Amino acid sequence: MRQRWVVKLGSGLLTRKDGRVDRARVGELVGQVAGLRRRGIDVILVTSGAIAAGMTAMGLRRRPVAVQELQACATVGQPELMAEYGRHLRRHRLLGAQLLLTYGDLDSRSRSRNARATLDHLLAQGKFVPILNENDAIADEEIKVGDNDRLSAHVAALARADRLVLLSGVRGLMTRPDGTGRLIPLVRRIDDGVRALAGGAGSERNVGGMVTKLAAAEIAAAAGVETFIADGRRPRVLADLASGKAVGTRFRLARR
């Protein structure tokens, strides 16, 4: 039986300091996805970075504040981002398949069933890598998930994934709220103590910090899916996770 993982790639991981999409990183991660597929693990990617890519394409130095500007930015950036994935995927004889969702889609029985059927069909063909993002251009306060950590957890539940892997620029949950200290390899329960370690949101480009990652772990756990938080800059991080090496933080929460 092939396994199915949902792997979320954060903006901080995919963009360089100057805000441009980090092409080398995308290439490296796509190579790892191809490696997982060879090991019998199908991957659904949830990618951030549409707004960042749009900012670059539009020549914006600062992230816009107005909602419409952000949405316009996403419409420009999303195809740029997909083109970048496509370029690397083709080298592995794979094609990217784009799905843009909002909370309204996840909340609707018929639409989420359609999304699942599409994902099942794509993965059964063996040559497509579904790449999901929030449909930022149309998602307003009422229907948006708002961050891709939670979106990826909903996708993991919808797709009946075996595992959710959140890759970003952090090693995992650390013993100090500022992200320093020692790595916590295993979390069995999210209580106030664990929440206190999550601190606030991350850097300017990061929508989600640890707070949304814990929320994602809880959403995934409710669907029986284990979550891993790991550093996407670590070489072979996905292969190491597949080999069962202790990488990052594993959330083995009871199903509620």
Interacting residue ranges for ligand GLU, rule: CB under 6 A? 10-11, 48-51, 74, 133-134, 136, 147-148, 207-208
Question: In the complex, what is the shortest distance from the CB of residue 6 to ligand GLU, in angstroms, rounded to a whole number?
Answer: 14
Q: Whose Cβ is closer to ligand GLU: residue 51's or residue 157's?
A: 51
Question: In the complex, what is the shortest distance from the CB of residue 249 to ligand GLU, in angstroms, rounded to a whole number?
Answer: 19
Say how far apart CA 154 and CA 172 lie, in whole Å.
20
Q: Which two tokens stand for residue 196?
A: 């206190």
Q: Whose Cβ is closer to ligand GLU: residue 138's or residue 239's?
A: 138
- Contact of 128 with 97, CB cutoff 8 Å: yes
Partners of 131 in the beta sheet? 45, 98
Say how far apart CA 134 and CA 226 lie, in whole Å.
22
Q: Whose Cβ is closer to ligand GLU: residue 41's or residue 152's?
A: 152
Question: In the complex, what is the shortest distance from the CB of residue 129 to ligand GLU, in angstroms, rounded to a whole number?
Answer: 17
Q: Whose Cβ is closer to ligand GLU: residue 54's or residue 248's?
A: 54
Question: In the complex, what is the shortest distance from the CB of residue 228 to ligand GLU, in angstroms, rounded to a whole number?
Answer: 17
Nearest to 200 by CA among 191, 213, 187, 185: 213
What is the maximum span of the chain, computed from C-alpha positions, in angstroms? Answer: 47
